Amino acid sequence: MTGKLLLATILCLMGGQALGDAILEGNYNVTAVCTAVKVGTQLGSIESCQTYYVCQSTGPVQSSCQSGYSYDYKRSSCYPSSEVDCYWGVENPCAGKNNTWVPNTAVCGGWFYCLEGKSAGSGNCPVNQKFDTTTLACVYGTCSNTQGTNETVLESLCDVVPPGQYFGDTESCSTWHYCESTSTGLVLQSGKCSANNQTAYNVLANQCTYESASVCSRVTNIPLSDAAVSCSTNGAKSADPKVCGTYYVCTNGKNVATYCPTGDYYDDSLGYCVSRQVATPVAGCNRCQYATSTFVNAVDSNNCSTYYYCNSQGEATLNTCPADTFFDESRQGCKSDDDLSTYVPLNGACKGATAEGSEETDNSTTDAE
């Protein structure tokens, strides 16, 4: 097992360096993160608990802990596996654990409950929460990838970059970040260099300096990781694609999840929260949230014919009305298109819908995807 891992490590290293390719672990571009940290910094892996990367001036060099040891990115060293909270790619995340929770890294917000080295149950954090690997508890926040993919996803740069160390960004030369240890886990803090024309964050010097081609060479305009919820325009708002009542406000380079008052949805075209029935939230978000009925309109600006069945957990299953009908949420059924024009103004989910289907909004729906 270890031999195989080591061999894979060596092959991967050779391949990576010979071709000059970036080292990628899913959405985690190790090469890019290395350009944003000080030379010598070690980064964790999200594919294996034994693996880590040493950032050299030529890029990341993969390395591995000896058998029985795991890499602890928070302490930048290998420790006996039982002393390291690492769950990436491990066969039994409950090994050596008793009466505690550990993350299920394959599922957003997923956890296992461990008893005497074995999983004694599994589950998911409530909506709008994710499992924090530091506190081993559910905390507020959304997963970057809510689709149930099998791929390991880097949710936060603070899962691989050692805490307390400043690092730069690949989208803006001014932006700096560091991972702060708090009682609720590691939190990504970000800011911008702005004083006296010294607007570049200089990774080597670990300070704000004047901009120059070499200081800013890391800027590729590719986000450090699409998961790292970085943003550039302070105050800019964006809708959560899945949760109608949640949106994000860009604050110091970081998208901060913000929740509408109970019963309200974030209306993307208005840019603020309005009551559920009149709001036009982003297409595809789950309108079972705050619903008091079993069947609800899906956001459908075409012909208002799609609707969800909401189960008792608030999960939505998409359905479609028969031809020449639309879904009427107050009547809990499909109604003749004759009444659609009076329904639309009172029900934001169907804004823009017509019996013939609205070509214009068809267009914008395609654009959004």
Ligand X SMILES: *[C@@H]1O[C@H](CO)[C@@H](O)[C@H](O)[C@H]1NC(C)=O
By three-state DSSP, how is residue 286 classified? strand
Question: Is residue 316 within 8 Å of 308, Cβ to Cβ?
Answer: yes
Shortest CB 327 distance to ligand X, Å = 9
CA distances, 183 to each of 132, 134, 187, 259 (Å): 11, 9, 10, 22
Give the residue among 342, 338, 343, 316 at the shortest CA–CA distance from 328. 343
Of 36 and 285, CB closest to ligand X: 36
Task: Work out which of 142, 305, 354, 358 binds ligand X, going by CB under 6 A.
Answer: 305
Separation between Cα atoms, residue 265 and residue 206, nearest integer Å? 42
Is 130 within 8 Å of 142 (Cβ atoms)? yes
Contacts with ligand X: how many residues (CB under 6 A)? 28
Binding mask 100-119 for ligand X (x = CB under 6 A): ----------------x---
Distance between CA atoms of residues 302 and 356, nearest Å = 8
d(CA 122, CA 103): 9
Q: Decide if residue 199 touches ligand X (CB under 6 A).
A: no
32 binds ligand X (CB under 6 A): yes
Residue closer to ligand X (CB basis): 69 or 101: 101
Q: What's the min distance (Å) between Cβ of 41 and ligand X?
A: 15
Query: CB-wise, 29 or 255, nearer to ligand X?
Result: 29
Q: Is residue 99 at the binding interface for ligand X, with CB under 6 A as the rule?
A: yes
CB 106 within 8 A of CB 116: no
What is the maximal distance between C-alpha atoms in the chain? 72
DSSP state of 305: -
Is 27 a binder of ligand X (CB under 6 A)? no
Q: Are 306 and 327 spatial neighbours (Cβ–Cβ below 8 Å)?
A: yes
CB of 263 to ligand X, least distance (A): 29
* Distance in angstroms (rounded) separating the CA atoms of residues 349 and 283: 8
Of the candidates 55, 138, 321, 344, which one interacts with ligand X according to CB under 6 A? 321
Interface residue with ligand X, options 325, 347, 354, 358 (CB under 6 A): 325
Pick 213 or 292: Cβ nearer ligand X: 213
Residue 360 within binding range of ligand X, rule CB under 6 A: yes
Least distance to ligand X, CB of residue 70, Å:
21
Neighbours of 333 (CB within 10 A): 12
CB of 3 to ligand X, least distance (A): 26
Give residues 207-246 in contact with ligand X (rule: CB under 6 A): 220, 222
CA 67 to each of CA 3, 5, 78, 96: distance values in angstroms, whole numbers, following the listed order: 9, 10, 10, 16
Query: Which of 3, 20, 148, 235 is close enough to bind ligand X by CB under 6 A?
Result: 148
**Binding footprint of ligand X on the chain (CB under 6 A):** 22, 24, 29, 31-32, 35, 98-99, 116, 148-150, 170, 196-197, 220, 222, 302-303, 305, 321, 323-325, 357, 360, 363-364
